[in-house]
Amino acid sequence: MAQDVIDLSLYRADFPMLTQKPHGKPLVYLDSGATAQKPQVVIDAITDFYSSHYGTVNRAVYSLATHSTEAYSQSREKARGFLNASKVEEIIFTRGTTESINLVAYSFGKAFVKPGDEILITEMEHHSNIVPWQILCEDRQAILKVVPVLDNGELDFEAYKRLLSDKTKLVACMHVSNVLGTTNPIREMVQLAHSAGAKFLVDGAQAAPHMSVDVQDLNCDFYVFSGHKAYGPTGIGVLYGREELLDAMPPYQGGGDMIETVTFEKTTYNHLPLKFEAGTPMIAEVIGLGAAIDYLTDIGLGSIHDWELSLLHRATQQLQEIEGLRIVGTSSTKGAIISFVVDGAHPLDMGTLLDLKGICLRTGHHCAQPLLARFGFTSTSRATFGLYNNSEDVDIFVTALKETLTQLR
């Protein structure tokens, strides 16, 4: 391990799930890319809210409601700081990355996209960053264009520049690929998009929990991520959007809290961010997300990033020694994600046998069927690392994989 990498093994004790022993084996959890385990502080924050402080937000003056509203507002400020947004009004709470993207596709599309306009995405996108744009294009008679991926898993940057035009209304791209691990050059991509007159949305689901994100430095127009991948609860996500764009976009849903006045003749809408948050919000989930952000910030996103990359390098070196194993995605700029295939062994079979050894590994198409098809696969195995993983996890995993392959080949 490099001297400047801080060993985060100590934090493993903060995660009660990691004491479980599936099939009588120590748990080796290598699926943080799908969802992360929760530290005790997040569990405690949610439990404390429900047991001692539960009340609605924004709608009452009694003390419980006031306390809930303050805690809820504090979490929004924490999310603002987490992404370094310039204003708290630019932080919209959603149910997750998927809803955030759908919100932008619907509202931005309704406000700005006309027949013949173009939406540009990439070949590596998650289904959640493909299907909403397909729906938008069908609805608005717009055209969807796709940036291809090179053999090493990086975007074809020259093709990206060629595909941008004065017809491009918006570019949507993941910050880090959930399959390949590729970290995309978002800042440069945003600059080119803006030069063409287009707006830019970043899917940060695989980036925000693992690296420092500064939306002002990236200069993107929208940035989205999910709480459950960032060691927080399920059912909560964040959409950052530029204030002027959010102001110009129509509401995504109608109901309580998103209104200013309602009559049968006309309704006027609330100010940001409430305009996009109809109904009783996910109060406990928002408070849990705030606790998760505090937890990550206290450790330091830079330390988390370096630690996870050290595990990635250790695993990559060991996996490359296995005969017939091919790593899919070999960019020099990767997050802590390894997808691989092995000659003569189906990913589902490998995943099933590894589970019996206590190892949680993702198998399948990873909600990225077009990307897998580009590489000639319908399924891969995927290991993704979190801050609680350690070198022992890597060694146990690789040893177990070798034993499993002797059964399958």
Residue positions annotated with a catalytic role: 367
Separation between Cα atoms, residue 106 and residue 109, nearest integer Å: 5
Q: Token pair of 222, please?
A: 């929208």
- Residues 169/118, Cβ–Cβ less than 8 Å: yes
The single residue listed with the structure tokens 């002002």 is 216
Separation between Cα atoms, residue 245 and residue 239, nearest integer Å: 12
Angle subtended by helix axes 283-299 and 40-48, to nearest 10: 150
Angle subtended by helix axes 283-299 and 63-83, to nearest 10: 40
Report the Cα 247 to chain-centroid distance in Å.
Answer: 25
Task: Name which of 184, 209, 174 is nearest 83 in CA terms.
Answer: 209
∠83-88-92 over CA atoms, to 5°? 80
Separation between Cα atoms, residue 236 and residue 93, nearest integer Å: 7
Q: Which long-range contacts (CB under 8 A, 24 or more apart) does 41-45 make?
A: 41/14, 41/291, 41/294, 41/295, 42/231, 42/232, 42/233, 42/288, 42/291, 42/292, 42/295, 43/16, 44/291, 45/287, 45/288, 45/290, 45/291
